[in-house]
Amino acid sequence: MEQESGLSLFDLIVKGGVIMIPLGILSMISIYVIIERWIFINQALKLEANFMANLNDLLGKGDIKAAKAYCQRQNNPISRVIEKGINRIGKPIKDIESAMESVSGIEMDKLEKNLGFLGITAGIAPMLGFIGTISGIIKIFYNISVSDNISIGLIAGGLYEKMITSGTGLIVGLIAYGGYHLLNTRIDRFSHKLQQSAIDFIDILES
């Protein structure tokens, strides 16, 4: 019993069996995706506070070339959408809006890259863990039938080892689920900011 209470995390992982390998891979990829997307989305949300005011001044002076150069220097999804609108200046407002919407869709796709993986992992990881536990229980009862020995120690010892996979699957699923919704919240915030910037730009053109 003293040895069991002194089990390390590595020992528990090993006792979880082969199913811990795909769960480990899913957990590492999920954490990477969450961190990478978080950094990428935060960069997309960064925009000069006076961006639209500066753009208004440049367009008010009729300096379209300088306005495009200013957007390019920002190197931001919002500035790229606005730049597309600037490139369409002189055409009907509907054409400008349509062009900006097309670029907006592309930029949103970039932000949502790999989020589908998190959604799938959130559903698959708990099921993988459950499969590991069920297969372990089947093996336990098979061994009992073969040895014809019903021992509480045998059942409890094997069962707790196999339930490690269920616990791990739930943890991995929770990480992926939480990361998925957290990132989607940030993307929604970006979407609102993008829409507001597009509206402000159209207002500048119509003023």
The domain limits of the chain are: 2-206
3-state secondary structure 116-140: HHHHHHHHHHHHHHHHHHHHHHHHH
Q: What is the pLDDT of residue 16?
A: 63
Enter the pTM of the model: 0.80
Side-chain half-sphere exposure of 68, counting CA atoms within 13 A: 10
CB 138 within 8 A of CB 29: no
- Residue 152 confidence (pLDDT): 64
- Cα distance between residue 29 and residue 8, in whole Å: 24
Per-residue pLDDT tens listing for the chain (207 residues):
344 455 565 666 666 677 888 999 999 999 999 999 999 999 888 888 888 999 989 988 888 999 999 998 888 899 999 999 999 988 999 999 999 999 999 999 999 999 999 999 999 999 988 888 887 777 777 666 666 666 666 566 567 667 788 888 999 999 999 999 999 999 999 999 999 999 999 988 887
Query: What is the C-alpha to C-alpha distance for residues 192 and 17, in angstroms, rounded to an integer?
Result: 46
What is the distance of C-alpha 144 from the center of its chain? 44
